[in-house]
């Protein structure tokens, strides 16, 4: 594993092409590369430290077989994900937690099962998964996925892996296969506050038109346009 630290000041000077970080990961494909952005280091410091420690095998391990799967409500899932997941909370129709002695050690968020174009074929999405800081539930994700499959019976489950942090190897061990690499995603970052924004959401919240006025928006709000490494779309047949 290697960590590529990205300074916002250097990013402004270098202005790398949008595909640069994905290409860099491919160049060192034999070694997992983590692209560590300065803004996330300051705003998600605890999460990042624990993720790195977990990848190095430095964490308290809980055996998944000792945990119990329970449905949880939005309030519990939202608080947990905001603290434990790098991308925060995302809406998931089905929310499950892994409990051991009344403590939640991991949470997974899933979509509803969706009917696809094929006759009698249904698909679902694993939207978020996170462990409690400082802990790793061995077999935890697999247990939650299997529980969801048993309850809802999809033909496949799809998920996305952030290429800044992973290469999908962990999901491959659970039976997922790579379907595609999505293009790098654009974000706008405020270098003064290290706040990262989705452009469409930022424009909607501020009543702006990003298509016509992107350059003006970046200049007026003193934002930096950055591109991550994209995502790996993975699918598990059930």
Q: Which two tokens stand for residue 184?
A: 């790098």
User: What does the domain layout of the chain look like in residue ranges?
Assistant: 2-237
Nearest in space to 124 (alpha carbons), one of 139, 144, 97:
144
Note the pLDDT of residue 212: 67
Cβ atoms of residues 106 and 60 within 8 Å: no
Pairing relationship of beta strands 2-6 and 33-37 according to DSSP bridges: parallel
Alpha helices in the chain (DSSP H): 8-14, 20-27, 38-43, 45-55, 74-84, 140-152, 169-172, 199-206, 210-220
Quote the pTM value.
0.91
Q: Specify whether the backbone of 168 is left (phi greater than 0), alpha (psi in -120 to 50) or beta.
A: left
CA distance 209 to 221: 14
Mean pLDDT, the chain cut into blocks of 10 residues (238 residues total): 94 94 85 94 94 90 95 96 93 96 96 91 97 94 97 97 92 96 95 94 86 84 95 96
CA distance 104 to 119: 38
Alpha helices in 73-166 (DSSP H): 74-84, 140-152
Q: Which two tokens stand for residue 111?
A: 């979509």
Note the pLDDT of residue 159: 98
Strand, coil or helix: 78: helix
Pairing relationship of beta strands 103-110 and 94-100 according to DSSP bridges: antiparallel
- How crowded is residue 48: how many other Cβ atoms within 10 Å of its Cβ? 19
Note the pLDDT of residue 118: 82
* DSSP bridge partners of 176: none
Note the pLDDT of residue 55: 87
Strand, coil or helix: 169: helix
Note the pLDDT of residue 32: 87
Sign of CA dihedral 70, 76, 81, 84: negative
Which fold would CATH assign to domain 2-237?
Aminopeptidase (3.40.630)
CA distance 97 to 70: 5
């Amino acid at each position: 594993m290697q960590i590529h630290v990205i300074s916002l000041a250097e990013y402004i000077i270098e202005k790398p092409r949008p595909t640069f970080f994905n290409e860099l990961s491919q160049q060192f494909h034999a070694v997992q590369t983590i692209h560590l952005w300065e803004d996330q280091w300051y705003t998600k410091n605890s999460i990042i430290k624990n993720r790195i420690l977990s990848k190095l095998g430095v964490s308290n391990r809980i055996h998944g077989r000792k945990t119990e799967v329970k449905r949880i409500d939005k309030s519990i899932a939202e608080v947990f994900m905001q603290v434990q997941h790098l991308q925060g909370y995302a809406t998931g129709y089905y929310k499950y937690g892994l409990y051991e002695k009344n403590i939640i050690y991991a949470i997974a968020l899933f979509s509803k099962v969706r009917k696809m174009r094929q006759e009698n074929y249904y698909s679902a999405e694993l939207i978020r998964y996170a462990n409690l800081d400082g802990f790793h539930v061995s077999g935890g994700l697999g247990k939650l996925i299997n529980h969801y499959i048993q309850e809802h019976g999809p033909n496949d489950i799809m998920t996305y892996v952030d290429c800044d942090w992973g290469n999908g190897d962990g999901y491959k061990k659970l039976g997922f296969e790579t379907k595609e690499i999505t293009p790098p995603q654009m974000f706008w970052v405020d270098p003064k506050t290290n706040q990262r924004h989705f452009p469409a959401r930022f424009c909607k919240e501020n009543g702006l038109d990003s298509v016509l006025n992107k350059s003006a928006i970046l200049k007026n709000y003193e934002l930096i346009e950055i591109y991550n490494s994209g995502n790996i779309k993975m699918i598990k047949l059930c």
